[in-house]
Chains A and B, each alone.
Chain A
Amino acid sequence: MAKEFKGRPVVAGNIHAKAVVSREGVNTLATFQKSALMKKKQVICSDQNNKDIYNKNLTGMALCLPKTIGSTTGGMVLHTVCALGIAPAAMLFSESIDSLAAAGVILADVWTQGTIVAVDRLGDEFLNYVQDNMTITVKQDGTVTVE
């Protein structure tokens, strides 16, 4: 059954993608660095501390998370993976976006050809409901449909 959630579009866009879900904060550097360094065609999460998404593909996915954590390199890491064409299609935050993730998705939007659609403030219910591989549809106005 489809369920709809309403958030705030930080970087607006329309996308349709499969969900990959982290119930805890995503450490951007630890998650993306290995695949980026090895110049992989897909980002496979390399953060061993995040049991939810470790070893899972994130490229082209709708990454559902509370927020990002970790190093202040986080924003430019997101910008870089977007420029390399291996970023998640969307980042869907249950909480208000943090300053590092905001920097990353905005840098990607302004300075690269690509975009990471970002919606925040989707609420705890969103993160409790969404499961890996569910189908996510995001609309420009921040409406997120999960089915």
Chain B
Amino acid sequence: MKYNMTLTPEEEGILNGSQGETMAKVIKTLVLYGDAFGAEKFVDVTAPGHLVTSFGISVLKPVFSIMNELIESGLKAKMPFTLDPRPVDYDNVKCNFAQKFVFNKVIYGMQKPYEEQLKKLGLKSPKSFSCTCYLDEVGNTPKKGDILSWAESSAVVYANSVLGARCNRNSGIIELFGQILGKVPLFDLLTDEGRKAKWIIEVKTTKTPEAQILGSAIGLKVMEDVPYIKGLDKFLGTRLDDKVKSYLKDMGAATASNGAVGLYHVENLTPEAVESGSALIRDDAKVYVIDDAELERVKSSYPVIWKDANAQPERCFIGCPHLSYNQLIEWTQRFESELKKQNKSKVGLNTILSSAPEVIEHFKKDDKEMYDKLIGLGLKLTSICPLMYMNNPLCGSKPVITNSNKLRTYTSARYFTDDEITAIAVKGGF
């Protein structure tokens, strides 16, 4: 095999089969991947992994075959990993008989055997199913400078931007291979040069921009480039507290899904921007000004792709990516306030809030009163991935609303701002 990366004698040996045929294929894949991006060498992975593939979709048999081959060869991740949310939760996200049948027998028929495979490959715990693995409760929180082998675009952009870790936008399977080898090819967002901004975003809005629309606007403009955001500290301050981190989580997920952003810097706020300031901006950086009119233009450009554009919503999903602890409290208070305003006691629409299992445990345990209130308002709490739930013809054809720009991008769900969706959900429709 011809390759350009410089390998150590040990890596060369692995490529030539010193650790078996399957491990040779694992490193061959990573060498070819590194070569495609001009990587000169491998670097060690320094923190646990996060996988995107959490769903046992029957059609992914070729993926399960790779997993089997890895297991049969005695391979597993060097450190226990977390992964994205499960696709279904029949207790909190109701399905009719036909939907259940299709989920269990057709679409997610491989869920149980797949989870068995994951255990053997190094799954951290049966609770480790969340796209927000970096939250304190979930505990897969890398440090600044850590080298990661993660997939899940919203987690990668958060780890890079808010935590200052280093990770490329890896695909499913590639991230597992990096965790098995314990090394990843050095390129792009793992390098100082790759972390420099090609765009300056000037936020000139009159109030705090809706995180999900700001992220969408940035993603649609810069695509995979690194943006350096100025003017947001005016609204968010200069301290990365829980509320600000939740805002950046949602904004980042929108940049990553509406575009392909893997890293952003926020002036005076995110770790590398605080440390290096405008030295992070490339000389040839372009400028994108975002004001109130631009946010409105972006929002009004979202197509409505419901089968019946005039239908009433049947379900509302909030929490893609998963909600943090402080967001669970905020949403409970927001709904409580809107119910009072509309003189109602329970929400009128089937409204589902999604959050990591450990965050829900924390919420139930340490804020039982608020948890009881949330349930009492008629809201449902789950840990599923709304995207995986909707990504099939049966559920995808239903009129669903969401405040998630990621869910809007990948499914037929219609986007509404936090305030709009609260009012619609309480009222029970438009």
Contacts and interface: CB of A to CB of B under 8 A. Distances in A.
Which among B25, B62, B223, B224 has the highest number of chain A CB atoms within 10 Å?
A: B62
What band does the interface of chain B fall in when counting residues whose beta carbon is under 8 Å from A?
35 or more
A109 B32 CA distance: 10
Given A98-B224, A102-B36, A103-B33, A75 B392 contact: no
B168 A110 contact: no
What band does the interface of chain A fall in when counting residues whose beta carbon is under 8 Å from B?
35 or more
Interface in A1-54: 10, 25, 27, 29-30, 33-34, 36-39, 48-49
Interface in A69-119: 69-76, 79-80, 83-84, 97-100, 102-104, 106-107, 109-112
B221 to A, nearest CB: 13
Which among B36, B62, B169 has the highest number of chain A CB atoms within 10 Å?
A: B36
B88 interface: no
Given A72-B156, A72-B169, A72-B171, A110 B25 contact: yes
Given A37-B57, A80-B63, A103 B393 contact: no
B427 to A, nearest CB: 28
A49 B391 CA distance: 15
Given A75-B174, A111-B66, A106 B29 contact: yes
A103 B173 contact: yes
Interface string B29-64: 100110011000000000000001100010111110
B107 interface: yes
A77 B16 CA distance: 28
A22 to B, nearest CB: 15
B172 interface: yes
Contact of B153 (A67, A71, A103, A104): A71
B245 interface: no
B173 A107 contact: yes
B36 A106 contact: yes
Contacts of B156: 72
Contacts of B107: 37
A75 B62 contact: no
A41 to B, nearest CB: 13
Contact of A84 (B57, B62, B257, B259): B62
A76 B28 contact: no
A103 B62 contact: no
B59 A80 contact: yes
B397 to A, nearest CB: 12
Given A48-B305, A73-B52, A99-B171, A10 B36 contact: yes
Contacts of A111: 25, 29, 62, 66
B247 interface: no
Contacts of A37: 57, 59, 107, 392-393
B170 A72 contact: yes
A107 B188 CA distance: 20
A72 B53 CA distance: 9
Interface string B304-322: 0100000000000000000
Contact of B32 (A25, A98, A99, A106): A106
8 shortest A-B CB distances, which residue pairs? Answer: A75-B171, A83-B62, A103-B171, A72-B151, A76-B172, A102-B36, A103-B174, A106-B32
Given A69-B260, A99-B171, 5 more contacts: A37-B393, A48-B305, A80-B62, A83-B61, A110-B28
28 contacts: A10-B36, A27-B410, A29-B410, A33-B391, A36-B59, A37-B59, A37-B392, A48-B305, A71-B52, A71-B153, A72-B151, A72-B152, A72-B171, A72-B172, A73-B53, A75-B170, A76-B63, A76-B171, A80-B60, A84-B59, A84-B62, A99-B33, A100-B169, A107-B174, A109-B32, A110-B28, A111-B29, A111-B66
